[in-house]
Structure 1
Amino acid sequence: MSHPNLTEYNKKRDFKKSPEPKGGNSKPGSARFVIQKYDAQNLHFDFRLEIAGVLKSWVIPKGPFTNPADKRLAIPTEDHPIDYIDFEGVIPEGQYGAGTVMVWDNGTFKNLLEENEEEKSLEESYKDGKMEVWLEGKKISGGYTLIKTNMGNNWLIIKKDDKEADARRKPAKTENESVKTGRSMKEISTSSNGKNE
């Protein structure tokens, strides 16, 4: 049975035509995250955190970063099924979100607010509009704050000034291969079947 939060996700997609995973088949694991590079109408990155049985998701137009002086827009999108954490492939033309998807980075994360005096759950933090997480990825590590703004439903993502901060590094532009398959966006888009691998 599909998670109730996945109604919008499932309604937008025709799973007979799209290789994307349908919600309801995955089992929750440890706190995991994925950053997917996504070449659809425009090139952007999707940031997803495993929370309460789904992937809470944001579009980060300018991509992942390690400079604590930066604040980047994070636009929330519909919840995605946990299976989406492994999705890499091509969503065909005519389908919602048509384009090429890469698993740019993945790993686990810790809820930093649980380690401080506030001790809020991830679900509570999300509802309150402020989250602090420590990412342990293959490309990106360190503390990040996600905070909801008063500009509509948008959030900001901010790098914490910690040992993983690096103002000179430009990961979104310079680190171009999938951590799942080692492929480039072009290799994914021109694969024989374009399906999730």
Structure 2
Amino acid sequence: MAADDRLREYRGKRDFGRTMEPSGQRAPGDEAPRFVVQIHDARRTHFDFRLQVGDVLKSWSVPKGPSDDPHDKRLAVPTEDHPLEYEHFEGVIPKGEYGGGTVIVWDRGTYEPLSHDRRGRPVGFAESLEHGHATFRLYGEKLRGEYALTRFRDGRDGEEEAWLLVRKGTGRTDAHGTPDPHRARSVRTGRTLAQVAAEGGEE
């Protein structure tokens, strides 16, 4: 499926004459796939976890944010695919627009797909997500190490599709979970949500 088809839902929810969000034009390069974690202070403050899969960012809303503590199992609810340019988006989505509120880039970097089948052969990342379980290693400025996304509710029978995002491992003495989103700073500009909101999203 082409990026234009994958981004139809994303574009249909937004008025690009009002929002600063990217409409999506960038094609994927040959470099390692990217990931980004954004804090989104909308109707409810949450974290958005996005992994580049081909020409889009597959996206999940993570209410409590990703954790580096293997004991934390974090709910992750799928949202629409986002364009690759969204990795850099930081600003204020106007009130009345879908997702209206302030966004900062909490973490970003590259990731390494690690999924294998039962015989130990590598499985394409898109395929592993389709099957409901994907493992990967993050190389971010804040998040580093092996993680897994596992679907535990498939969205049938009127239920909302839901996944768990978990840090793999046996435990770490320096694990600290996720910080207070209202005190957290952007890895892109060093600003807090309040500072971005006060400045109207301007850098």
- Scaled by the length of structure 1, the TM-score of the pair is 0.91
Q: Any conservation in 2 of the 1:68–1:167 contact (CA below 8 Å)?
A: no
Residue segments in structure 2 that go unaligned for 5+ positions in a row: 156-160
Does the CA contact (< 8 Å) of 1:68 and 1:166 recur in 2?
A: no
Give the whole-Å Cα distance in 2 for the aligned partners of 1:33 and 1:97: 20
Task: Name the SS of the counterpart of 1:131 in structure 2.
Answer: strand
- Which position in structure 2 is the counterpart of 1:37? 39
Is the partner of 2:187 in helix, strand or coil? coil
Tell me, in whole angstroms, the C-alpha distance in 1 between the residues paired with 2:145 and 2:71: 14
* Superposed displacement of residue 69, structure 1: 1.1
Aligned to 2:101: 99
SS of equivalent residue, structure 1 residue 127: helix
Asked if 1:10 is matched to 2:11, the reply is yes
Distance 1:27 1:166 in 2: 41
Q: Does 1:146 align with 2:153?
A: no
Change in 2 beyond 3 A, CA 1:41/1:166: farther
SS of alignment partner, residue 186 of structure 1? helix
| 2:115 aligned counterpart, secondary structure | helix
State the partner residue of 1:119.
122
Q: Is the 8 A contact 1:65 1:172 kept in 2?
A: no
CA displacement, residues 112-166 of structure 1 (integer Å, 9 cap, x when unaligned): 1259813100111111111101000001111111011136311111110168x45
Between the aligned residues of both structures, percent identity stands at 44
Structure 1 runs not aligned, ≥5 long: none
- Choose 8-17 or 167-176, whichever is displaced more: 167-176
* Counterpart position of 2:28: 28
State the Cα distance separating 1:168 from its structure 2 match.
4.3
Moved over 3 A (4+): 165-168
2:132 to 129, 132, 150: 129
2:194 aligns with one of 180, 186, 189: 186
- Residues 151-160 or 34-43, more deviating: 151-160
Q: 1:151 to 1:7 in 2, by over 3 A?
A: closer
Are positions 1:52 and 2:54 aligned together? yes
Task: Give me the TM-score of the superposition, normalised by structure 2.
Answer: 0.88
How far off is 1:170 after superposition? 3.1
Q: Does the Cα contact within 8 Å between 1:3 and 1:53 map onto a contact in 2? A: no
Give the alignment's Cα RMSD to 1 decimal: 2.1
Q: Is the 8 A contact 2:37 2:106 kept in 1?
A: yes
User: Residue in 2 aligned with 1:177?
Assistant: 185
The residue type paired with residue 54 of structure 1 is: V
